[in-house]
């Protein structure tokens, strides 16, 4: 412990706090030596926007852009997803809606790094299962597959089997703070911990760069494997931003990423373009101005967001509901038992409403049976009533009801429709594995937030961000689970708030 009486009050610091303090001092010294200002939240967000500006410059400046945006909106409103996500309109969708989501996702990843992703990396280090990236990985690979189809199977039987019952207050507001990193030994005062002021190796003194490169040659970069189900454009940019600001559990080497993106829409070319702009130096001007301020905003990120050696991304054009356990196990890399991050970002509610509760439940149980122990499942979606599924009314979901005669009496035996919040369904399905494990696996709830606001950095008093179209704040719900070995004796109980 370290005491401080600078303010007349005795303060004690733990070794972890001392390490973070020393890391900040080292970061400031390096920045001062090289005359570089520490990146602000706004500058980090601007780097994400710059990737989209570079990748979709022609799309954003096209005279047909506004009309194309309206066409996508109309298709989404009509729930005609085949039309909304057809090839020619994907760059329009990515340029219009993906930037804000990428900003949001990057903030979520950064928010769970300390307590959860960091411990996932430590798990990999302890097991000595760090992946090695190919020097020249393919940016995109596509496998054809069918899109999501309707149908619910025997949803009632599955609901009864999982004891879903009726949604109520008991399923709301539950949260368990992550303890992954706190479970580890406290760091010594010489250990460098992850911090918002950490420096890119390119900004470090020459001798430090050579030291890092030597370690990379012998020990390689520590790799975080992630599988993103649904989406694609926002996910890959957010993941790149997270890598650029993070280090692995071994802080002497940078963190690399092995990303697999799965969607039934043909996102291959969009993903390939974004990966190229993530891993190449920015061609944009060093300074820029916005419509809300004439003061130039410095772009300190003129280099690539991450070098090509630190990001491997592949795209699979598949319907995740048709993969089955064998294919899903292959995608997750279950054979090597390396824990990974699986994300469902603004995807799970769409699966519930479009494909039905039955098929989506089957998918979640297949995921449970094949995911490596120690893996994390991150779910982000629209909050509240925006994420609800209706079942009952004597008909299957997504099946039009037959027209009834005007004077036909109401059927007293007809089932009344019931609304099921997405987070309630999800939690009942996943947490049922606590008492009824699937293939020896069960889920532990780490965090659950029903309503969280994300606001762009400009909302915190800064000038506007540089992007051709307006950026909206967004509200979302977020849930995080960890896969556990059901045969292991748990030494910790769940905490609910």
Q: What is the DSSP string of 389-435?
A: EEEBTTB-TT-PPPPPPTTPPP-TTSPPPEEEEHHHHHHHHHHGGGT
The most confident of the ranges 113-122, 144-153, 467-476 is 467-476
Residues sharing a CB contact under 8 Å with residue 285, sequence separation 6 or more, in sequence order: 299
Asked, for residue 9, whether it belongs to a domain, the answer is: no
Q: What is the pLDDT of residue 167?
A: 63
Q: What percent of the chain has pLDDT over 70?
A: 59
In this predicted structure, what is the pLDDT of residue 485?
94
**Residue 165 maps to a domain:** yes
State how far the Cα of 30 lies from the Cα of 123, in Å rounded to an integer. Answer: 30
pLDDT at 66: 95
> For 37-65, what is each residue's pLDDT tens digit?
445 788 889 999 999 999 999 999 999 99
- Better-scored residue on pLDDT, 8 or 358: 358
**What would the two tokens of residue 496 be?**
């609910």
Q: Is 2 helix (H, G, I), strand (E, B) or coil?
A: strand
Structural domain boundaries enclosing 170: 30-396+413-485
Q: Is residue 16 part of a domain?
A: no
**Residue 15 domain-assigned?**
no
Q: Round to whole Å and give the CA distance between 213 and 110.
A: 25
Asked, for residue 20, whether it belongs to a domain, the answer is no
Provide, rounded to the nearest whole percent, the portion of the chain with pLDDT above 90.
Answer: 44
Q: What pLDDT score does 416 carry?
A: 74
Residue-wise pLDDT for 149-206, tens only, equals 334 444 555 555 565 555 654 444 444 444 443 343 333 333 323 333 333 333 333 3
- pLDDT reported for residue 239: 96
Banded pLDDT at 335 (limits 50, 70, 90)? confident
Is residue 424 scored above 60 in pLDDT? yes
Evaluate whether residue 406 is within a structural domain. Answer: no
pLDDT at 19: 59
φ and ψ at residue 300, rounded to 5 degrees:
-80, -15
Looking at the domain assignment, is residue 7 inside a domain?
Answer: no
Comparing 42-51, 221-230, 325-334, 415-424, which segment has the lowest mean pLDDT?
Answer: 415-424
User: Residue 334 — very low, low, confident or very high, per pLDDT cuts 50/70/90?
Assistant: confident
| Least-confidence region, from 194-203, 285-294, 325-334 | 194-203
Q: Read off the CATH number of the domain in which 120 is found.
A: 3.40.50.150
Domain count, the chain: 1
Tell me if 294 is assigned to some domain. yes
Q: Is the pLDDT of residue 237 over 80?
A: yes
């Amino acid at each position: 412990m370290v005491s401080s009486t600078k303010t007349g009050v005795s303060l004690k610091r733990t070794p972890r706090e001392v390490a973070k303090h020393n890391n900040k001092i080292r970061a400031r010294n390096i920045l001062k030596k090289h005359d570089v200002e520490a990146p602000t939240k706004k500058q980090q967000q601007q780097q994400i926007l710059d990737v989209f500006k570079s990748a979709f410059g022609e799309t954003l400046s096209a005279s047909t852009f506004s009309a194309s945006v309206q066409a996508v909106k109309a298709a989404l409103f009509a729930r005609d997803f085949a039309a909304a996500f057809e090839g020619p309109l994907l760059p329009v969708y990515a340029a219009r809606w993906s930037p804000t989501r990428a900003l949001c996702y990057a903030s979520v990843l950064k928010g769970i790094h300390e307590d959860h992703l960091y411990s996932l990396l430590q798990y990999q280090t302890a097991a000595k299962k760090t992946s090695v990236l190919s020097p020249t990985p393919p940016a995109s690979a596509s496998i054809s597959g069918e899109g999501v189809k309707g149908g619910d199977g025997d949803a009632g039987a599955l609901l009864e089997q999982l004891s879903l019952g009726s949604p109520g207050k008991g399923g709301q507001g539950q949260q368990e703070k992550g303890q992954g990193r706190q479970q580890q030994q406290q760091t010594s005062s010489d250990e460098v911990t992850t911090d918002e002021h950490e420096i890119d190796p390119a900004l470090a003194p020459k001798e430090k760069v050579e030291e890092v490169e030597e370690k990379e040659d012998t020990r390689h970069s520590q790799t975080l494997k992630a599988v993103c189900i649904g989406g694609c454009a926002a996910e890959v940019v957010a993941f790149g931003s997270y890598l650029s600001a993070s280090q692995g559990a071994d802080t002497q080497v940078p963190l690399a990423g092995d990303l697999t993106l799965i969607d039934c829409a043909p996102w291959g070319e969009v993903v390939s373009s974004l990966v190229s702009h993530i891993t190449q130096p920015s061609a944009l001007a060093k300074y820029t101005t916005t419509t809300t301020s004439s003061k130039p905003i410095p772009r300190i990120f003129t280099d690539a967001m991450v070098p090509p050696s630190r990001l491997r991304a592949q795209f699979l054009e598949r319907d995740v509901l048709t993969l089955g356990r064998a294919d899903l196990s292959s995608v997750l890399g279950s054979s090597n038992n390396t824990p990974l991050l699986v994300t469902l970002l603004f995807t799970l509610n769409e699966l519930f409403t479009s494909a039905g509760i039955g098929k989506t439940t089957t998918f979640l149980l297949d995921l449970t049976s094949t995911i490596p122990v120690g893996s994390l499942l991150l779910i982000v979606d629209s909050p509240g009533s925006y994420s609800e599924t209706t079942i009952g009314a004597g008909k299957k979901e997504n099946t039009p009801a037959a027209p009834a005669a005007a004077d036909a009496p109401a059927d007293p035996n007809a089932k009344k429709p019931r609304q099921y919040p997405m987070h309630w369904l999800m939690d009942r399905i996943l947490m049922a594995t606590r008492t009824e494990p699937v293939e020896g696996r069960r889920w532990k709830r780490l965090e659950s937030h029903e309503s969280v606001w994300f606001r762009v950095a400009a909302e915190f008093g800064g000038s506007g961000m540089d992007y051709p179209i307006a950026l909206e704040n967004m509200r979302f719900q977020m849930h995080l689970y960890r896969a556990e070995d059901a045969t292991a004796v748990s030494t910790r109980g769940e905490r609910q708030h």
